[in-house]
Amino acid sequence: MNPSHKFLASALLTAAVLAASLPLKAMARSDHADSCRQSAGPEGHGRHGGRAGQPGEPMPPYLRGLKLSESQRDKIFELMHVQAPQLRDIAKKARQSVDQLHRQALGDSYDGTQARQLADEAGRAHGEMLARRAEIDRKIYAILDAEQRQQLAARIAARP
């Protein structure tokens, strides 16, 4: 492979992996929780922020506007709290793989096989995170009552 093609392939691979890792990068931002609380709106539910007046209570954004009982809020809080360390560890693994891939792609010792392995590791970690979040969402769905489930279904159906 000609050196300019090799560089182009390396740059494209790096760009693709970095683009795929942007959601992970957003999670790592220390001010992310503050921005969620500030942009949460009247119900006060941000991804990592809580209801207004209760900072730090994790609530997924799709719960905004649903009138949750205190018992439901407690169950969801516990569920999110228990899963946070595992999700954080998975995000770290993905971030480390992407960082190593980026360093290798822009360094003197590029190895295509190792780059592919690093990209695969990042992809597996991202897939694991998505699967874990789907499991969490399913458990949260089980906590909702019939009316809340209908409201959620209507929101999903209304999406473009």
pTM of the model: 0.60
pLDDT of residue 160: 86
Can you tell me the distance from the alpha carbon of 112 to that of 133, in angstroms, rounded to the nearest whole number?
31
Can you tell me the distance from the alpha carbon of 157 to that of 160, in angstroms, rounded to the nearest whole number?
8
**CA torsion angle for 118, 120, 124, 125 (degrees, to 10)?**
20
pLDDT tens, per residue, the chain with 160 residues: 555 555 545 544 554 544 555 444 444 443 444 444 433 433 333 444 444 324 455 688 889 889 999 999 999 999 999 999 999 999 999 999 999 999 989 988 888 999 999 999 999 999 999 999 999 999 999 999 999 999 999 998 998 8
pLDDT of residue 128: 94
DSSP letter at 50?
A: -
Contacts of 37 (CB under 8 A, 6+ apart): 44, 46, 49, 50, 55
